[in-house]
Amino acid sequence: MERTLIILKPDAVQRQLVGRIIGRFEDKGLKIVGAKMRRIPRETLERHYSDHLGKPFYERLLAFMSKDPVLILALEGKNAIAVCRKMMGATFGSKAEAGTIRGDFGISDSFNLIHGSDSPEAAAKELKLFFAADELVSYDIISAPWIYDEDELAPGPPGRSRTPH
Ligand code: CMP
């Protein structure tokens, strides 16, 4: 199981798309293990977007992201990082495929509704930046055996079943 950091950006909050976007992740079988609504301080955004420092859109990006509250989520599931990125769609709303979150809900290239970690390294860094360890909650969901094959839920290498058939 993998965890990823998702931010529903100020445009998603202002356009009241939060429920519909979270619903897509829940429908997929991803589990919410952390959630908080915040206005992100500039200093945190500078750390989060350090790779974009110096790019032409950097200042506008920070102004947009700090202007209004966002919903910050930690999601857990099998291949959660790649699965969420696929569900989000391409960065630019005008280019994102129909069926993806950006493809279905947005057309702007800078107000693109959602952020998701793009690698395990980024997920580890971003989860730490936005959540204290005790703000992430481990729990079982009762539908897990219907979302996953039991082999996928079992600890240890794939193929090792928890219960003998
Ligand atoms: P995200 O991929 O979450 O993180 C970087 C953000 O920068 C990206 O979403 C967009 O919101 C923004 N961004 C990236 N490229 C551009 C661009 N060319 N013009 C404006 N905003 C951009």
Which of 57, 70, 84, 94 for mutating ligand 1's site (highest number of atoms within 8 Å of CB)? 57
What's the CATH code of the domain at 70? Answer: 3.30.70.141
In a domain, 164, yes or no: no
d(CA 46, CA 44): 5
The answer to whether residue 135 sits within a structural domain is yes
Ligand 1 binding residues, C-beta < 6 A: 52, 57, 61, 91, 109-110, 112, 115
In-domain check, residue 22: yes
Structure tokens at 94: 């005008």
In a domain, 89, yes or no: yes
User: Is 156 within the bounds of a domain?
Assistant: no
Q: Running DSSP on this structure, what letter comes out for residue 154?
A: S
- Does some domain include residue 162? no
> Known catalytic residue: 115?
yes
Average pLDDT, the chain: 94
pLDDT at residue 156, as a whole number: 65
Look at residue 160 and tell me whether its pLDDT is greater than 70. Answer: no
The tally of domains found in the chain comes to 1
For residue 137, report the distance from its CA to the centre of ligand 1, in Å: 30
Query: Among residues 1, 11, 28, which one has the least CA distance to residue 100?
Result: 28
Residue among 44, 96, 111 nearest 72 (CA)? 44
**pLDDT at 95 exceeding the cut of 80:** yes
* Residue 162: pLDDT over 60: no
- Bridge pairing between strands 114-116 and 2-8: antiparallel
In a domain, 155, yes or no: no
Query: pLDDT class for 155, splitting at 50, 70, 90?
Result: confident
Domain containing 12 equals 2-147
More confident residue, 75 or 160: 75
pLDDT of 7-46, one tens digit each? 999 999 999 999 999 999 999 999 999 999 999 999 999 9
Q: What is the mean pLDDT of residues 129-135?
A: 97
